């Protein structure tokens, strides 16, 4: 075949390729695409493929003896540049799909593709056009081959990149989908065919033909924007449906859980209204109190779960005395056991460090959940509470286990134990109060504290829950405090307290509670009235201030009070805004103290003792 014919074939193939890649680019770029790392690299691949083809045609057209050598050199070197660039981008592409398949994160690669493209484009242009020389050989006035450092460099870069491609595919061969091998195999086969043709004397440059075919195959095998878009839409739809179902489940669960204690409160209140026997009234009032406590536990549980799910639950590390924490837990459990025929064994490690650093409030919550469950789900027998430790340097691993001889958990349920709202053996547990939130919260808290929780249980025989949590040891001697003689008597009779709350029932509850201490109370239902009372010169020993009030909040009222000359009455935030961290917020605002609603009598007494007791 004559050189002229070969040249015509080459140009024709290149022009067909240009048309082909042009249509592909039009199809690809006019479609809505999902923004993935793969897509960003593919964008650049199509562009460099198209530019490379144009340079190739220009080079063929200019490659005749007698034409300006600078133009021939320039078009050929530009062609080399985009050849190498395409090969380089192809390698990046392979690395991206391999890293995705192997779940290795390549940070910010999708944002850097543009930068990568520009940097390497500049690099190749500099090397090929300005540094490395090239020389040409002509036959019958037609350029038939090129040689020189520029040509060698291009071959070297392409060979290295092809080897890297093959290596990456080989490493990730098990993870990458089979379809993704197709473009690379096509590429390697076509390159080999072209090399053979070249050595057989068919001097066709045509490196761009395999390149174009690979770009085309990639569009179908890996890059299917429509399919990807649909896939992502489906995933998003599924997630939205799941979230919606979870919300509905949550609401129906909660409605049921909240109605149970409410039913008791409502029912017993109606009975009390008609009852004359004071003993029966007191009994029923006690039942109302128990139901209210349950309701409060449910609300706190919901708050905890919602905070955990919103990633808002923080572990607040402070210094604490572990011995005190465990002793308190023992007392609380003994109170829960009450009259139940349960033996309660306690073994707390003797060498427990005096001080540890950690979130003891959450630690207490974790252990109390386990101990409470043990009491709830054990009718008779024994509950064993063990605290062991392992010390290493300044870290103390607390190994806490709670063992019971209760109803036990079926093996198939153990895995579901830490899922929220899961309760088992409902027919057996009909009379046991619970929401199925306790263990879900416990597990999340243990995870947040980087600990571990394990369960062993034999159905019908009993269960053992073991928690391991690391805490930092604080090395210091126990402070020997000169014990102040504590005054346990409340001497608050005749003191005057102003209660500020927009809710009349809340005012009534606070007023009644305070009246039991013979305290004189005055009630106002807004911040404005409170300020007026003070401005009118009324004197009080203490102000209990609700926060969430219409028009003027408790915090705003408090700020205004502080501006009144000579104002020095202690103000206590008394609010149902009781999520974790609120106490600290109110104290930061300047309130003297904080009591959450519903009012705990012990808390109220603590505050009264602090601010009203006669010295």
Name which position in 409, 446, 519, 604 contacts ligand ADP (CB under 6 A): 409
Nearer CB in complex with ligand ADP: 436/598? 436
**For 579-595, b where at least 16 C-beta lie within 10 A, e where not — what string?**
ebebbeebeeeebbbbb
Stretch that binds ligand ADP, among 183-191, 334-342, 438-446, 576-584 (CB under 6 A): 438-446
As a whole number of Å, the CA-based R_g of the chain is 39
Nearer CB in complex with ligand ADP: 333/463? 463
Cα distances (Å, whole numbers) of residue 270 to 133, 257, 263, 430: 102, 21, 11, 25
Q: Residue 460 CB, nearest distance to ligand ADP (Å)?
A: 10
**Interface with ligand ADP includes 435 (CB under 6 A)?**
yes
**Interface with ligand ADP includes 463 (CB under 6 A)?**
yes
User: How many whole angstroms separate alpha carbon 573 and alpha carbon 424?
Assistant: 41
Token readout for 526 is: 């807004």
Q: Judge contact between 201 and 3, C-beta under 8 A.
A: no
Q: Residue 399 CB, nearest distance to ligand ADP (Å)?
A: 18
Stretch that binds ligand ADP, among 177-185, 399-407, 525-533, 543-551 (CB under 6 A): 399-407
- In which element (H, E) is residue 69 found? helix 69-101
Name which position in 438, 451, 527, 554 contacts ligand ADP (CB under 6 A): 438
Stretch that binds ligand ADP, among 62-70, 224-232, 380-388, 415-423 (CB under 6 A): 415-423
Stretch that binds ligand ADP, among 151-159, 279-287, 431-439, 488-496 (CB under 6 A): 431-439
**Interface with ligand ADP includes 424 (CB under 6 A)?**
yes
β-partners of residue 147 are 135
**Interface with ligand ADP includes 406 (CB under 6 A)?**
yes
Q: Residue 401 CB, nearest distance to ligand ADP (Å)?
A: 12
Name which position in 63, 261, 353, 434 contacts ligand ADP (CB under 6 A): 434
**Interface with ligand ADP includes 575 (CB under 6 A)?**
no
Name which position in 206, 439, 498, 569 contacts ligand ADP (CB under 6 A): 439
Name which position in 377, 540, 591, 611 contacts ligand ADP (CB under 6 A): 377
Token readout for 165 is: 């491609």
Name which position in 417, 469, 498, 530 contacts ligand ADP (CB under 6 A): 417
Name which position in 56, 73, 76, 404 contacts ligand ADP (CB under 6 A): 404
Q: Which of residues 12-31 bind ligand ADP (CB under 6 A)?
A: none
Task: Say what the alpha-carbon torsion angle 10, 12, 14, 17 is, to the nearest 10 degrees.
Answer: -140
Nearest to 555 by CA among 518, 580, 587, 533: 587
Stretch that binds ligand ADP, among 21-29, 209-217, 429-437, 548-556 (CB under 6 A): 429-437
239 Cβ contact list (under 8 Å, min separation 6)? none
DSSP for 350-403, written as a single string: TT--SEEEE-HHHHHHHHHHHHHHHHHT-SSEEEEEEEEEEEETTEEEEEEEEE
Nearer CB in complex with ligand ADP: 41/417? 417
Q: Which of residues 154-173 bind ligand ADP (CB under 6 A)?
A: none
Separation of first and last alpha carbons in the chain = 117
Q: Residue 338 CB, nearest distance to ligand ADP (Å)?
A: 17
* Exposure of 216 in the CB half-sphere (CA atoms within 13 A): 15
User: How many whole angstroms separate alpha carbon 566 and alpha carbon 589?
Assistant: 19
User: How many whole angstroms separate alpha carbon 349 and alpha carbon 399?
Assistant: 10
**Interface with ligand ADP includes 374 (CB under 6 A)?**
yes
Point out which residues bind ligand ADP (CB under 6 A): 369, 373-374, 377, 404, 406-409, 417, 422-425, 429, 434-440, 463
């Amino acid at each position: 075949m004559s050189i002229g014919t070969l040249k015509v074939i080459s140009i024709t193939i290149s022009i067909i390729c240009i048309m082909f890649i042009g249509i592909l680019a039009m199809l690809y770029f006019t479609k809505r695409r999902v923004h993935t790392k793969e897509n960003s690299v593919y964008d650049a691949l199509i562009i460099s493929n198209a530019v490379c083809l144009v340079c190739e045609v220009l080079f063929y057209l200019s490659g005749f003896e007698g034409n300006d050598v600078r133009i021939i050199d320039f078009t050929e070197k530009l062609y080399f540049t985009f050849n190498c660039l395409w090969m380089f981008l192809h390698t990046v592409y392979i690395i991206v799909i391999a890293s995705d398949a192997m779940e290795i994160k390549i940070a910010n690669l999708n944002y850097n593709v543009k930068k990568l493209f520009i940097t390497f484009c500049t690099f190749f242009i500099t090397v090929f056009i300005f540094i490395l020389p090239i020389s040409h050989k002509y036959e019958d006035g037609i350029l038939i081959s090129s040689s020189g450092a520029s040509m060698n460099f291009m071959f070297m870069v392409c060979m290295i990149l092809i080897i890297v491609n093959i290596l990456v595919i080989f490493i990730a061969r098990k993870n990458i989908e089979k379809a993704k091998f197709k473009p690379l195999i096509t590429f390697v086969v076509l390159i080999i065919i072209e090399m053979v043709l070249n050595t057989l004397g068919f001097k066709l440059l045509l490196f761009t033909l395999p390149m174009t075919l690979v770009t085309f195959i990639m569009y179908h095998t890996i890059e299917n924007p429509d399919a990807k878009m649909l896939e992502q839409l489906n995933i998003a739809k599924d997630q939205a449906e799941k979230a919606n179902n979870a919300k509905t489940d949550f609401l129906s669960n909660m409605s049921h859980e909240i109605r149970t204690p409410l039913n008791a409160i409502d029912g017993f209140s109606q009975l009390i209204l008609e009852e004359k026997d004071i003993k029966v009234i007191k009994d029923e009032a006690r039942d109302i109190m128990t139901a209210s406590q349950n309701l409060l536990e449910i609300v706190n549980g919901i708050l905890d779960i919602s905070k955990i799910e919103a990633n808002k639950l923080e572990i607040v590390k402070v210094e604490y005395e572990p011995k005190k924490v465990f002793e308190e837990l023992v007392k609380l459990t003994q109170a829960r056991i009450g009259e139940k025929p349960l033996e309660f064994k306690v073994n707390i490690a003797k060498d427990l460090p005096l001080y540890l650093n950690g979130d003891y409030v959450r630690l207490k919550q974790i252990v109390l959940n386990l101990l409470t469950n043990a009491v709830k789900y054990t009718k008779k027998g024994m509950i064993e509470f063990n605290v062991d430790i392992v010390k290493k340097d300044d870290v103390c691993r607390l190994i806490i286990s709670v063992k019971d001889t209760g109803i036990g958990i079926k093996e198939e349920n153990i895995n579901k134990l830490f899922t929220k709202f899961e309760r088992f053996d409902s027919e057996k547990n009909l009379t046991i109060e619970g929401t199925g939130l306790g263990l879900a919260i416990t597990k999340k808290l243990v995870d947040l504290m980087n600990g571990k929780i394990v369960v062993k249980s034999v159905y019908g025989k009993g269960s053992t829950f073991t928690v391991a949590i690391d805490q930092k040891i604080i090395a210091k001697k126990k402070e020997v405090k000169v014990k102040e003689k504590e005054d346990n008597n409340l001497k608050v009779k005749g003191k005057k307290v102003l209660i500020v709350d927009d809710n009349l029932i809340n005012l009534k509850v606070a007023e009644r509670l305070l009246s039991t201490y013979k305290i004189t109370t005055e009630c106002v239902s807004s911040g404005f009235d409170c300020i007026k009372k003070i401005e009118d010169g009324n004197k009080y020993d203490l102000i209990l201030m609700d926060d969430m009030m219409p028009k003027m909040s408790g915090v705003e009222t408090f700020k205004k009070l502080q501006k009144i000359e000579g104002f020095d009455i202690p103000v206590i935030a008394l609010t149902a805004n009781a999520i974790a961290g609120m106490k600290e917020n109110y104290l930061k605002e300047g309130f003297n103290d904080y009591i959450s609603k519903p009012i705990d009598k012990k808390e109220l007494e603590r505050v009264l003792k602090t601010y009203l007791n006669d010295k």
